Structure 1
Amino acid sequence: MSDSIKSDPSTTETPDTTETSGPTETAGPTVIEYADYDGDGYDESVLLDTDDDGLGDTIVQDFTEDGEVETIAYDADGDGFSETSMSDLDQDGTADTVFADIDQDGAHDFAISDVDQNGIPDGFQLL
C-alpha cells in the first residue's frame, strides 16, 4: 500500500520566493593606482574614486622630515583637487589606511590607524 498526500488547492500556500540575505555589501571605492614615489617600499599615495562622482580622488600618506607620517585626502572636483581632510593623529611610527563601508551606511569610509615605533597601536581615525 502506497502512502500519498493529497492537497486541497484552496488551502495550498504559495511558496515565498523572496530572497533574504544579510547586510548589503557595497562595492567600495574603485582603486585606480597605488604609488611608491620615493622607492622606499611603502606606497605614498592612492588614486581612487572615494565619493563615486567618477573623478579620481587622491590620498597621500608619507613620512615628514621629522619622521612622522602625514595623511592628506584630496577630492577631485572637476577643476582640480581640494583638500578634504588631514589626519591629526600623532603618527610617529607606521600608519595604514583602509577604504570600506565600516558603518554599513552605503558610503565609503576612510580609516587611518597608527602604530608607534615600538609596534604598539596608538591611534585610529575615521574620516
Structure 2
Amino acid sequence: MTEGKPKRVLVVDDAALVRLYYRDALERAGYAVDEAMNGLEALEKLLVAPVDLLVVDVNMPQMDGFTFLRVLRRQDLPVASIPALVTTTEAGPQDRAAAREAGANFYLVKPVPQDVLTVYAGLLCGDAP
C-alpha cells in the first residue's frame, strides 16, 4: 500500500467470524476496515463515510449483497462507483453472471484465502505493484 492515509474498506457480511477474518487480513495489509452485517446497514454507513472498497457477501438477511449492489449502483452519488468484491459460497456460472449484473467488479468463492483477499483489495484500490 502507498504511504499516507490508509484506504478504507467496508466488509459487508452477516457472519461475525468472516468479518473478523477479513478485517484481520486487510488491517495487516494496511487498510482501515469498517463492518456491516447486511446491505441495508452498509448503505447507511456509506452515506455517513464513503470507502475505497466494498467486500460483499451475497446471502444476508434484510438486504442481500446483490440487492445492495443494485441499489448502490443506481444512486446518483459518488459512492455508487466504489469498487466491489463479492465473496460467496455460491459458485455457479449463473451466480457469477448475477454478480456482474448487480455491479460487482470481482467475484471470489469462499473460503477466500487472506492473501488472495489482499491481492484483490490492492487491485481494486489501485495499490497493486
Short-chain TM bin: under 0.3
Structure number with larger C-alpha Rg:
1
Which protein has the bigger strand share? Answer: 1
Q: Give the structure-1-normalised TM-score.
A: 0.25
Which protein has the bigger helix share? Answer: 2
Q: Give the structure-2-normalised TM-score.
A: 0.24
